[in-house]
Amino acid sequence: MGRRVVLGMLGLGAVGVVTGRRLADLESRVLAPIQSRDPTGLTSLLPAGAGFRFYSVTGTVPHRTATGYRLTVRGLVDRPATFTLDDLHRMPQTRLIRDFQCVTGWRVPRVHWAGVALPDLLDAVGVSPRAQAVRFTSFDGSYSESLTLAQGRRRDVLVATTMLDRPVTRDHGGPVRLYVAPMYGYKSLKWLAGIELTSSVQAGYWEHRGYDTDAWVGRSNGQQDAPIT
C-alpha cells in the first residue's frame, strides 16, 4: 500500500475547489465522526497516484488476483452470469479521458480510463423489464452503490479494468472498479464484485451518511453551479 499520509478531509475541503457552506457542513457532520473513529485508513495520499487520494472505508481489502477475479451479474436479468477478467477484456472496450472529482474538493484532471461500458455488460446479460436500478457491491465487504437503470445505461459509466493507462491497481480498486464519469467519486465503487439489477435504487455507503444518491458533479450535495472545469 505504500506509506500513507493521513489527511484530514475537512482540511482538504478547505483547500479544495468547491467547498460551499453546505458541503462543508456535510463534511463536518458526516466525516469528522467517522474519522475520529478510524483515523488510520480513511484517506491518504498515494505517492504514485497522480493526485488521487486513497480511500477505503474498510481499511483492508482482500486481494484478488487477475486470474482469481470474478464479477457476478444477477438479479432482474435474463441470463445471470459470472465474468472473469479475461471475459471482460474480450468484450468491446470503451475508452474515456475524463476528470475524477471527489465531493470533498480534490480533482484529478484528464484521467485515462478503459473497460467495458456498463450498457454493453447489461446487454450481455439481458435486463428484465421489471428492473429499474443497478446495484454494485465490493469485495471489501461493506461498500455499495446504486444507479438508476437510465444512469447505468450511460456510455460514460465503465466497468473499468484500466485507469491511468495501466491495469487498475489494488489501491485504486483493482482488478476491476466502477467509473461513473458524470458523478462524484463516491459513486465509482472500488473492488467491484457484484452487479445486481433491482426494482428500485438502494442507498449506498455514503448516501446512508448524508450524501446525495444522484451525485452529478456540480449540481448535487449543495452545489448549484455549472460543473467545475
Ligand X SMILES: Nc1nc2c(c(=O)[nH]1)N[C@H]1C(S)=C(S)[C@@H](COP(=O)(O)O)O[C@H]1N2
Closer by beta carbon to Mo ion, 23 or else 76: 23
In the chain, where do the E strands start and end? 43-45, 53-55, 71-75, 81-83, 94-101, 107-117, 133-138, 144-148, 157-163, 166-167, 177-180, 192-198
Residue 56 binds what, of Mo ion, ligand X, none (CB under 5 to 8 Å, by partner type)? ligand X
Strand partners, 44: 6, 54
Interface characters, 75-114, with ligand X (x: CB under 6 A)? ---------------------------x------------
The one-letter amino acid code at 6 reads V
Residue 207 binds what, of Mo ion, ligand X, none (CB under 5 to 8 Å, by partner type)? none
Among 188, 213, 221, 223, binds ligand X (CB under 6 A): 188
Q: Where are the alpha helices (DSSP H) in the chain?
A: 9-15, 21-26, 32-37, 85-90, 118-125, 149-152
Scanning 65-73, 80-88, 123-131, 183-191 for contacts with ligand X by CB under 6 A, the matching segment is: 183-191
Beta strand pairing call for 192-198 and 71-75:
parallel
Closer by beta carbon to Mo ion, 6 or else 150: 6
CA distance linking residue 189 with residue 198, whole number of Å: 17
Residue 143 binds what, of ligand X, Mo ion, none (CB under 5 to 8 Å, by partner type)? ligand X
- Rule CB under 6 A: say whether 179 interacts with ligand X: no
Closer by beta carbon to Mo ion, 189 or else 197: 189
What's the closest the beta carbon of residue 53 comes to ligand X, in angstroms?
A: 5
CA distance linking residue 87 with residue 82, whole number of Å: 9
What's the closest the beta carbon of residue 57 comes to Mo ion, in angstroms?
A: 10
